[in-house]
Amino acid sequence: MSGRAKPRYDKDGLTVHSDPNSLRRVTKALRGSGRRVTLVPTMGALHEGHRELMRRARSIPGSTTVVSLFVNPRQFGPTEDFDRYPRAFDADVEMCREEGVELVFAPDVDTMYPPGFATSIDPGPLGGELEGAVRPGHFAGMLTVVNKLFAIVAPDVAFFGEKDYQQLTLIRRMVRDLDIDVHIVGVPTVREEDGLARSSRNAYLDDVGRRASIAISAALAAGQYAGEQGPAAVVAAARGVLEAEAALDVEYVELRDPELGPTPEIGPARLLIAARAGKTRLIDNAAVSVVRRETGLSG
């Protein structure tokens, strides 16, 4: 471990580290002094959803929170938006300070992936379904960076939004499968007043797309309501709302069990939607309670 790198920014009780080893030393010392360390991993361009993650993290008694800001190239496909993904470092640091966060980790790409870097986490079959079917390699890249963040920060608790429900599910599975000593907390999605789930990519929406996007949360609500009529009715109700919105192209509407296994006949389930408004892909999901069994399920 090198001991040289200095924090890149240190002001008003907030320190930005870009060197993993300098941050590792700090979090190790904190744990040694009896504090708990909490982690909010992000790709920056922070919004109210991230603010809620920070608030939840900061509410753990006797804890210090690390927020990571790193646009991870390994979770973007070659035709995806890595280059134009919004970056807002100063505003991000400001929001961290507003929320009383003391430690920010903002490494460079070369620091995270030095020449010769070759290891990656295999997400298993779920990594090729839903989002993974449209975004090959996305979940391997995401799990690899989350695993590295866990190794660097060694948090006691880490916070992720339910908005990216498949991501959250795969992280929970990785932690279980690889015996990683961290408690994962899923935080409910923060929405705009009209229902649109907060996301850094909402910044790409034009007026037409922004208006059309409301149909996604409306479709989830229609699906939840149809839970009384069985699983196929849930999917049909959600699809009906989405297909009535001409400016949306539906990619998938799926009802899965809460761990994203097959559609349950009855009981708790998760309804997941992906749709495009112009060039902007939007995803959202909601818990559904299926209270009536149905025959002739079509998956």
* Reduced DSSP (H G I as helix, E B as strand, rest coil) percent helix, strand, coil of the chain, to 5: 40, 20, 40
For ligand PAF, the closer CB: 52 or 164: 164
Element of type H or E holding 32: helix 20-32
* SS3 label, residue 16: strand
* SS3 label, residue 284: strand
Q: Please report how close the Cβ of residue 199 comes to ligand PAF at its closest, in angstroms.
A: 10
Q: Does 121 bind ligand PAF (CB under 6 A)?
A: no
Q: Please report how close the Cβ of residue 145 comes to ligand PAF at its closest, in angstroms.
A: 5
Element of type H or E holding 71: none
Give the closest residue to 260 by CA, choosing from 163, 158, 127, 78. Answer: 127
Q: Please report how close the Cβ of residue 94 comes to ligand PAF at its closest, in angstroms.
A: 18
17 is annotated as an active-site residue = no
How far apart CA 252 and CA 254 sit, in angstroms, is 6
Q: Does 14 bind ligand PAF (CB under 6 A)?
A: no
In the region spanning residues 22 to 41, those forming contacts with ligand PAF, defined by CB under 6 A, are 41
Q: Does 283 bind ligand PAF (CB under 6 A)?
A: no
Out of 14, 30, 39, 43, the only residue in the binding site for ligand PAF (CB under 6 A) is: 43
Q: Which residues contact 195 (CB under 8 A, 6 or more apart)?
A: 214, 216, 217, 218, 221
Q: Please report how close the Cβ of residue 42 comes to ligand PAF at its closest, in angstroms.
A: 5
Query: Choosing from 17, 47, 50, 138, which is the catalytic residue?
Result: 50
How far apart CA 231 and CA 268 sit, in angstroms, is 11
For ligand PAF, the closer CB: 15 or 42: 42
Q: Tokens 């920060």, residue? A: 153
In the region spanning residues 135 to 174, those forming contacts with ligand PAF, defined by CB under 6 A, are 142, 145-146, 164, 167
> What is the contact surface with ligand PAF in residues (CB under 6 A)?
41-43, 72, 75, 142, 145-146, 164, 167
Q: Which residues are catalytic?
A: 50
